[in-house]
Chain A
Amino acid sequence: MPNVKELQVNGAKRATDAHPERSLLSVLRDDLGLTGAKYGCGEGRCGACTVIVDGKAVKSCQSRVETCAEKPIRTVEGLAVGVKLHPVQTAFLDAGSMQCGYCTPGMVMAAVALLEQHPDPTRDDILSEMNGNICRCGTYVRLVAAIEAAAKAMKGGAK
């Protein structure tokens, strides 16, 4: 397998030269300087590394970079438009749904993917879709509230 030479990240083509078996997470972080997605467990069980590939939330520590080469990749760095935050980011701040914040970028991306697929999620949709993301500080109740608030805001057209 040849090295991966290019990725489509946040709407732009980014040159790289990555061993195909490396994780998408390591290439985003170490080669492209996009450190928003975090390493938490390396086994796809904490969600700190969540990014959106081809419209779906993926655990980027478990995605080989070669499998993402042709697909649009979105990371937390690409969410805000200029100084204007994405409604999910705003909702997280309003709900105070973080403590140390290490899980937050992954939570934000998982929530964005969830709301793009289920604009009007039930409580159970939220729990199901988010259960793969760990907040060790335990702000789950606030995270659920933030996602519900973001769903309302996005329906109101606050894009």
Chain B
Amino acid sequence: MTPQLDGIAIEPERYELIDAIAASEWTRREFFRIAGAGLVIAILMGKDADAQPPGRGGQGGGGGQQIGAWVHIGKDDVVTAYTGKVEVGQNVRTSLAQAVADELRVPFKSVKMVMADTALVPYDAGTFGSRSTPAMAPQLRKAAAAAREVLLDLAAEKSKADRTTLVAKDGKVSGPKGEPSYTYGELTRGEKLVKVIGGDVPTTKAEKWTVAGTSAPKANGRDIVTGGHKYTSDVTRPEMLFGKILRPAKLKSKLVSVDTKAAEALPGVTVVRDGDLVGVVAPTEYAAAEALKLVKAEWNAPAQVSAGDLFKHLKEKAGRGGGGGGGGRGGGGARGSIDEGLKAAAKTVTATYTVAYIAHVPLEPRAAVAEWTDGKLTVWTGTQRPFGVRDDLARALNVAADKVHVIVPDTGSGYGGKHTIATATEAAILAKKVGKPVKLVWTREEEFTWAYFRPAGVIEVNAGAKADGTLTAWDFHNYNSGGSSLASPYAVPNHRAEFHSTDSPLAQGSYRALAATANSFARESAMDELAHAVGLDPLEFRLKNLPDKQHERLKAVLEAAAKAFGWGKAKPAEGRGFGLAVSTEKNSFVASVAEVEVDRKAKNPVRVVRVVTAFECGAVVNPDHLKNQVEGAVMMGHGGALFEKVDFENGEILNPSLGGYRVPRFRDAPALEVVLLDRKDLPSEGAGETPIITVAPAVANAIFQATGERLRSMPMVPKGWPK
């Protein structure tokens, strides 16, 4: 028989690869070499998928169409899903397995995820932008759904039963009254079947989910609590040595001269020189560190901008050439006339907000283990871009990308901070020179100095409203921090929101939610200022400016947070204040209400007592893990709001330690309440980022209510109450 699947005619004994894939490196032999015999369903990268891969070689490259992910069912009944996404604490290993289990009608524990190993998984641009849930989960879901249909075909063929009477459930295909009944392994045993599908596969609607939508426990939780999980820094290899890299005191330094004789005289120590890179390799990390102390070097560094001149610098260099400048301006949603809008306003607010550079501080610093075997390089490293790092390594070490194998163990967090990993390149250079595997783990000081930061920024707002609170004008300019959540989500007839690129004195890059935090801080602070200017309650003022159907989701989270907090029901105690904020980014919606206690004379003058956050990201995949992400984002956002700040002077980072750079601790934790709005009628969106964006403005607005003072710089109280 020739069953019809998803509009594609297939023959069960000859599920051949389609031409595009046959031309790529994903041959059927490749699938079965990796996974063993059984059934393979591979899905082509569709419109859901992330940025297309580069043209260079490697898995998934080469063909006209690339595979996005694949699912394998072996004779042992084990379902394995292969994806390039990485696990960095967002619990995507769990949530993606839930999607696969759901479509294949198997228990959660039957699904194994193979992730972020460039030799085993198809190309993926990286794990960022909250894309795993909206882009990768549907691909895996479709592959699993197609696999289920093939299993039904196989069972029908084997039993000669009427296919329409067969049901896939609990890892078995069964007929009415349990006859026939085959486990998935029985159906795939001895087979080597490959089916490649496009994106047009019907999947289970959220209301019918049985595994997704539940609080499945963290997939490898037991390995975490027993210390058994091997992070990159825990990986060891036979004959492995330890490396250290020589660092100058100042950023952007050039090496003038170096004397390595004393270090080289130590037993077992090798000094490696590669351009400006000077490293030592030794049998223990201690010996490497001791040897490094004996290396004498002279560096030359240019004069560099200091923290005290930062905001002036960002404004002065905006839109001009050089650095990140280039005259770039970006924005969106320009409409009406700002001048007319301001003229029509009864009250206006003109304010400037600033945001400092902050560090990601992933608790696992950058780490890599590099090993060369017969001209091939294998690198274990914690990165959010396994294929990007593979290509970076290929370029830096001048080898073909298909000779570089990157393995990303589940990693000790990233928060957007592990897109590039210089550590991997450094370890590979050291390992090549000594001819043995080398482990390199950056110190906390290196992590604070030689990685990259969340961009600092200046944001200028000029806005107006009528006496009744209706917004008339919104003019918003962000210098340097970025364009995420730039446009106002409120109804305002005269609107302009622009991003101005400029020159950043420090290396900057992605950070959880990007500039949506900075832009929401400025916008929601200014909205609060306007509410007070027109004499309206901040909640009422916001709701008044969210009148339309398009504002429904934003309004829903705002009302949910306000209700759970009891907004308007009680007045804050003496020295305390309440503040709220709402925003949206990456198609998810968040509102926070904060209660703070202020003591201007205290070393830590602001204590956040309580935060209620309402969050909506479509259909909820794992309620407990989602709640955990929201709680964690609120906690992390708290640091950037109040005290986290990178201090720097003329090329030197002044606080590159946890003693000098304060992050939230147990004693900082407020009472946290999370309200999840589960919209089963809407696609699931990512949730690792957006819940962070309303913390700072809610806290700022609460501080204003408590004190009558408006703090417009993040962090708001880095060294006591601002003078």
- Choose one: A26, A40, A99, A108; the contact of B91 (CB below 8 Å): A99
Is there contact, CB below 8 Å, between A104 and B636?
no
Q: B226 touching A76 by the CB < 8 A rule?
A: yes
Residues in A with CB closer than 8 Å to B444 are 40-43, 46
**B177 at the A/B interface (Cβ < 8 Å)?**
no
Q: How far is the CB of B266 from chain A (nearest CB, A)?
A: 12
Question: Which residues from A are CB-within-8-Å of B667?
Answer: 127, 131
Check if A137 is an interface residue, CB within 8 A of chain B: yes
In the complex, residue of chain A having the shortest beta-carbon distance to the beta carbon of B665? A131
Which residues of chain B from 422 to 454 have a CB within 8 Å of any chain A CB?
A: 441, 443-444
Is A152 an interface residue, CB under 8 A from the partner?
A: no
Q: Are B236 and A127 in contact (CB under 8 A)?
A: no
Q: Does B507 contact A (CB under 8 A)?
A: no
Contacts of B229 in A (CB 8 A): 101
Contact B633 A138 (CB under 8 A): yes
Interface centre among B629, B631, B668 (most CB of A within 10 A): B631
B363 A46 Cβ-Cβ under 8 A: yes
CB contact list, A17-75 vs B, under 8 A? 19, 21-23, 26, 29-30, 33-43, 45-46, 48, 75
Across the interface, which residues of A come within 8 angstroms of B218, CB to CB?
93, 96, 98
Task: Using known A-B contacts A43-B657, A96-B624, A102-B363, determine if residue A134 contacts B663 with beta carbons closer than 8 Å.
Answer: yes
Residue of B nearest to A21 (CB): B286
CB-contacts of A131-159 with B (<8 A)? 131, 133-144
Q: Is the CB of A102 within 8 A of B412?
A: yes
CB pair B663 A92 closer than 8 Å = no
B413 x A136 contact (CB < 8 A): yes
**A122 CA / B665 CA spacing, docked (Å):** 18
A28 CB to closest chain B CB (Å) equals: 11
Question: A93 — which chain B residues lie within 8 A by C-beta?
Answer: 217-218, 221-222, 225
Q: Within residues 359 to 394 of chain B, which ones have a CB less than 8 A from any CB in chain A?
A: 361-365
Among the listed B217, B225, B413, B672, which residue makes an inter-chain contact with A137, where contact means beta carbons less than 8 Å apart? B413
Interface assignment of A9: CB less than 8 Å from any CB of chain B: no
Contact B362 A136 (CB under 8 A): yes
Main secondary structure of the interface of A (DSSP, over half): loop
| B500 → chain A closest CB, angstroms | 31
How many angstroms between the C-alpha atoms of A135 and B412 in the bound complex? 10
**Known contacts A38-B412, A93-B217, A140-B669; is-contact A99 B89 (Cβ 8 Å):** yes
A80 touching B412 in the complex, CB below 8 Å, given contacts A39-B365, A40-B363, A139-B628: no
Most buried by A among B233, B444, B633, B672: B444
**Smallest CB separation, B228 vs chain A (Å):** 8
Q: Is A100 close to B, CB under 8 A?
A: yes
CB within 8 Å for A141 and B284 given contacts A36-B227, A96-B218, A136-B361? no
Tell me which of A41, A43, A136 contacts B636 (CB under 8 A): A136
Check: B234 CB closer than 8 A to any chain A CB: yes
> Which residues of the other chain, A, contact B441 by a CB distance below 8 angstroms?
39
CA distance A35 to B669 in the complex (A): 29
Please report the C-alpha to C-alpha distance between residue A34 and residue B234 in the assembled complex, in whole angstroms.
9
Is B88's beta carbon under 8 Å from chain A?
yes
* A19 CB contacts on chain B under 8 angstroms: 284, 286-287
CB of A115 closer than 8 Å to a CB of B: no
Residues in B489-545 with C-beta less than 8 Å from chain A? none
Q: Does the CB pair A131–B636 fall under 8 Å?
A: no
Is A103 an interface residue when CB atoms closer than 8 A count as contact? yes
Whether A116 sits at the interface, judged by CB under 8 Å, is no
Interface pair A101/B222, CB less than 8 Å apart: no
| Interface pair A36/B636, CB less than 8 Å apart | no
Q: Is B286 in contact with A75, judged by CB distance below 8 angstroms?
A: no
Given that A38-B412, A39-B233, A139-B628 are contacting pairs, would A104 and B286 also be in contact in the complex, using a CB cutoff of 8 Å? no
Question: CB distance B89 to A141 under 8 Å?
Answer: no
Minimal Cβ-Cβ distance residue in A for B229: A101
Judge whether B632 and A99 touch: CB under 8 Å.
yes
Which A residues lie within 8 Å of B226 (CB)? 36, 76-77, 79-80, 85, 89
Task: Scan residues 548-566 of chain B and give those whose CB is less than 8 A from a CB of chain A.
Answer: none
Tell whether B285 is near chain A: CB-to-CB under 8 Å. Answer: yes
Known: A96-B218, A100-B89. A45 touches B635 (CB 8 A): no
Given A93-B221, A139-B628, decide whether A127 and B666 contact each other with a Cβ distance below 8 A. yes
Interface check B625, CB cutoff 8 A: yes
Closest partner residue, chain A, to B215 (CB atom): A96
Across the interface, do B657 and A138 meet the contact criterion of CB distance under 8 Å? no
User: Are A104 and B224 neighbours in the complex by a CB distance under 8 Å?
Assistant: yes
Q: Are A138 and B632 in contact (CB under 8 A)?
A: yes
Q: Are B657 and A100 in contact (CB under 8 A)?
A: no
A-chain residues with CB within 8 Å of residue B672 when the two chains form the complex: 141
Question: Quick check: is B568 within 8 A (CB to CB) of the other chain?
Answer: no
Chain B residues contacting A131 (CB-CB under 8 Å) are 665-667
In chain B, positions 398-419 with a C-beta closer than 8 Å to chain A are 410-413, 415
- Residues of B near A137 (CB, < 8 A) are 89, 413, 632, 636
Using Cβ atoms and an 8 Å threshold, which residues of chain A touch B634? 138
- Asked if B299 is an interface residue, CB under 8 A from chain A, the answer is no
Please tell me if the beta carbons of B658 and A76 are within 8 angstroms of each other in the complex: no
Contacts of A21 in B (CB 8 A): 286
Q: Is there contact, CB below 8 Å, between B669 and A42?
A: no
| Interface status of B722 (Cβ within 8 A of chain A) | no
A42 contacts across to B, CB distance below 8 A:
443-444
**Residues of B contacting A85 with CB < 8 Å?**
222, 225-226
Interface string of B458-496 (1 = CB under 8 A from A): 000000000000000000000000000000000000000
Given A33-B236, A138-B631, A138-B636, decide whether A101 and B669 contact each other with a Cβ distance below 8 A.
no
Residues in A whose Cβ lies below 8 Å from that of B287: 19
How far, in angstroms, from A75 to B634 measured CA to CA in the complex? Answer: 31
Interface centre among A43, A80, A92, A141 (most CB of B within 10 A): A141
B217 surroundings in chain A (CB, below 8 A): 93, 96
B234 touches A35 (CB 8 A): yes
Asked if B267 is at the interface of the complex by the 8 Å CB criterion, the answer is: no
Q: How far is the CA of A21 from the CA of B244 in the complex (A)?
A: 18
Which residues in chain B, 238-266, are within 8 Å of chain A measured between CB atoms? 242
Do A138 and B286 touch (CB < 8 A)? no
Contact with A along B343-370 (1 / 0, CB 8 A): 0000000000000000001111100000
Residue of B nearest to A65 (CB): B286
Sample (16) of A-B pairs whose CB atoms are under 8 Å apart: A26-B285, A40-B365, A41-B444, A43-B659, A79-B226, A85-B222, A85-B226, A89-B226, A98-B225, A99-B91, A104-B225, A127-B667, A131-B665, A133-B666, A142-B628, A144-B669
Interface residues of A (CB under 8 A from B): 19, 21-23, 26, 29-30, 33-43, 45-46, 48, 75-77, 79-80, 85, 89, 92-93, 96, 98-105, 108, 126-127, 130-131, 133-144
| A-B contact sample (5 more), CB < 8 A, given A76-B227, A99-B632 | A35-B227, A100-B413, A105-B225, A136-B363, A140-B665
